[in-house]
Each structure stands twice: as structure tokens, then as C-alpha cells.
Structure 1
Amino acid sequence: MTAFPQTKDTTDKRAALLDATILLTQARGFHAVGIDAIAAEAGVTKKTLYHHFRSKEELILAALRRYDSQFRNRFLRAVETSGETPCQRLISLFDVARADFSATGFNGCLFVKAAGEFRGISPEILRFCTEAKTLVLEAFETLCRDADVREPHILAEQLFIIYEGACAAIHVTGRTDITDNAKAAAMTLMAPYLPAEDVSPA
């Protein structure tokens, strides 16, 4: 695992610590990664780490916020460029997901990891994980509304469940082809909700 380069800029050191936290916790989990390992990966001293973050929990929460912003921005940009019409973009949702799930280093959802490890330990981290998942669901609903589907909230929840299930299944099995079946299931669900002229697969 390549260490982040050390920099003189305070903002860069903070960002390096957040990126190191994301990288290491994705690979190993939160409780298994110590402060010393994060500082070493970021190329800073432990003193510098505690200058920016008062505790490991505060560091993890900030890293989750960074991860959430990066993930949603990247994912939604990819969806926006995946089709010319709102319906095409909605239908291609699982094509975009497959690219994410097939990426080198994919190791499941960081929010699911955090929620599992911090349930009953850190209400603040658990609350943020819930908020992050809610924002993804709301993004799905926006796609549904833009596509002028019937009952957009219901369809969005159904697609969200398939998406989350595919993410978990691929993480456990390593089979990225699961996304193909996830898309097929999503298309079956979409058909009654989409305008008739937009039902054909992308």
C-alpha cells in the first residue's frame, strides 16, 4: 500500500489523513486500524494527527464525510452522462454501479462497515451513516421523478434495495456479474412505472 506523500501545507496534511483513513478502513475495517497506522500511511506524525483531530472517532467521522461527498459526486456525475434522456439515465443506473463495483480495490460499502462496527458505540457515526444512505435513496428518487415515472418514491426504494443488495453480494462473493442480474431485476421492476416508450433496455 503506497503511503501518501508528506506535504508542508496544513490542509494537505488533513486531507492526507482523511484519505489514509478511508484507504485503510476500507481494506481492514475501523477497529483493526490504529492511529499509528493511519499517521504512517498519511506520512505525518501522530502529533500532527491529533493537531487536526481530537480523537479517532472524530477522524473517522470526518473521513466518512469526505468519502460520502466523493462517492456521491462521482456516482451522480457518471449517471448524468450515461444517457441523453432522464429515462435512459435511470435505466443505466446499474451500468454505472457495475463500474464502481468492478473497480480495483472495491471492498464493499464503507458506511455498512462503519454502521456494523459502531452500532451501540458511536451514535454520531451511526447517524451519519444513516444520513448518507438516505441521500443515496433521495438521489434515486430524483432520478425517478426526472424520468416522470409513476410512484417515484416506491420505485426508488425498490431500486435502492437491489443496489444495496448487489453491493453486499459482490463484496462477499467477488462476483461482479451479479450486477447484470441486479439490472435485470431492476428492469423488471421499472417496467410498470416507466412511460411505455421508454421500457426497452438501454
Structure 2
Amino acid sequence: MPTSAARDRILDAAFRLFYARGIKAVGVDLIIAESGVAKATFYKHFPAKDELVLAYLDRVDDVWTGQLHAAAQAAGPRPADQLVGLFDALSSSCRREGYRGCAFINAAAEAPPGTPVHDRTVAHKQAVLAWVRGLADEAGAADPDALARSLTLLLDGGLASGALDADPEAATQARASARILVAASSG
């Protein structure tokens, strides 16, 4: 869909509000008020709230996936190092002001299975799992599927723990655990 200044303002407001308050707690009228657009303009860009939620999740996906990839690449060229390094994205996220955990886990908790919003959260998690699985394979893991699943569970647990107990050190422990799992996986 082509972008416009009004669409961007709507999406910016939704991004802030959905993450801070939750998707169900934020109504269209509040997003319209916060974005400063007319109701007709809002509905021109997003005929239904779910369409806005999907656009929000797409934006979150772009940001989070970018952070994961950047953290992995910053760890160096070796896939094994990248598997551990991707946890640095977790560390920076958990320390962010207003951190409320994983936007996808939060959205999944609010959307019934089988809905487009829930399906989008599942697609994101599957894409991260596939990427990590690819790195695990490149790293020579004896069982890339098991390593990828373990690491993504650890990543999701770190995201949740960082929000639930408000302890940014959860990310440090998750990274240390990832290092152990990666080292043990080389068979």
C-alpha cells in the first residue's frame, strides 16, 4: 500500500498506543485523536481496526527482525557467534524505557487463534525460527531444528522475563544460556 503522511501518523500513533496499552484497550477514536487525522482519512487507510493491527505488526516485525539481524551480524562472521550475538538485541530491548515484552506475544495473547492477527504473530515467530535454524545449520549443529527451537524458546522467555520481572539481566542470562546451547550442539 502506498504511504502517505496521514497513514504514517496513524501508524505511528497505533505503534505507540498498541504497545503501551494493548491492542484491545486502544480504540479507533483514540488513534484518530492521537494521529490528528479525520475519521474519513483513518478509514480510507484502514477500513478495519484489524488492518491497522496487521500494519502495526508488520512495522514491529521490521524493527525487531532488523535488530536481531544487526545484533547477529555484529557478533562476527561465524554463524555460531551470530547465534549467541543475536541475544544482544534482547538486551537492548529489555533496557528500553517503557518495555512491555514482545509485541507479538502480547498480540497473540489478545487475538483468538485462526484470526488474521493471530496468524500474523505465528508467521513472525516461524520466520524467526527459520532464520535461526538456518544459522544453526551453517554453524554445523548436530540437530539444527532442536537448537533453533531451543534458542527461540530462550529468546521468547527472555523477552517475557524482561517484562514480567522488570530485570534487564534476564537478557544477560539468556545470552549465557545460548552460548552453552550453541557450544553443546556441535556434537
Q: TM-score, normalised by structure 1?
A: 0.84
Q: Which amino acid aligns with 2:19?
A: Q
Kindly state the Cα deviation for residue 157 of structure 1 after the two structures are TM-superposed. 0.4
Please list the CA deviations of residues 149-174 of structure 1 after superposition, one character each: whole Å capped at 9, or x if unmatched: 22111101001111111111111111
Alignment partner for residue 188 of structure 1, among 167, 180, 184?
A: 180
Alpha carbons of structure 1 residues 117 and 46: separation in structure 2 relative to 1, 3 Å: same
- Of the structure 1 ranges 83-92 and 22-31, higher mean CA displacement relative to structure 2 is found in 83-92
Residue segments in structure 1 that go unaligned for 5+ positions in a row: 1-8, 196-202
- Name the residue aligned to 1:128: 120
Contact preservation (8 Å) 2:162, 2:168: yes
Kindly state the Cα deviation for residue 146 of structure 1 after the two structures are TM-superposed. 2.3
Q: Which amino acid aligns with 1:109?
A: C
Kindly state the Cα deviation for residue 10 of structure 1 after the two structures are TM-superposed. 5.9
Alpha carbons of structure 1 residues 127 and 191: separation in structure 2 relative to 1, 3 Å: same
Kindly report the root-mean-square deviation, in angstroms, between the aligned alpha carbons of the 2 structures. 1.9
Contact preservation (8 Å) 2:72, 2:86: yes
Alignment partner for residue 142 of structure 1, among 124, 128, 134?
A: 134
Alignment partner for residue 30 of structure 1, among 10, 23, 35?
A: 23
Kindly state the Cα deviation for residue 50 of structure 1 after the two structures are TM-superposed. 0.7
Distance 1:75 1:188 in 2: 19
Q: TM-score, normalised by structure 2?
A: 0.90
The secondary structure found in structure 2 opposite 1:194 is: coil
Q: Which amino acid aligns with 1:154?
A: A
Please list the CA deviations of residues 60-105 of structure 1 after superposition, one character each: whole Å capped at 9, or x if unmatched: 1121122212221232123212224222222222223211221223
The secondary structure found in structure 1 opposite 2:184 is: coil
Kindly state the Cα deviation for residue 11 of structure 1 after the two structures are TM-superposed. 1.5
Contact preservation (8 Å) 2:71, 2:85: no
Please list the CA deviations of residues 103-139 of structure 1 after superposition, one character each: whole Å capped at 9, or x if unmatched: 223211111111111115x611111111111111111
Q: Which amino acid aligns with 2:147?
A: L
Aligned residues: 186
Alignment partner for residue 148 of structure 2, among 147, 156, 160?
A: 156
Q: Percent identity?
A: 33
Q: Which amino acid aligns with 1:141?
A: R
Alpha carbons of structure 1 residues 93 and 77: separation in structure 2 relative to 1, 3 Å: closer
Alignment partner for residue 87 of structure 1, among 80, 87, 94?
A: 80
Contact preservation (8 Å) 2:141, 2:186: yes
- Name the residue aligned to 2:104: 111
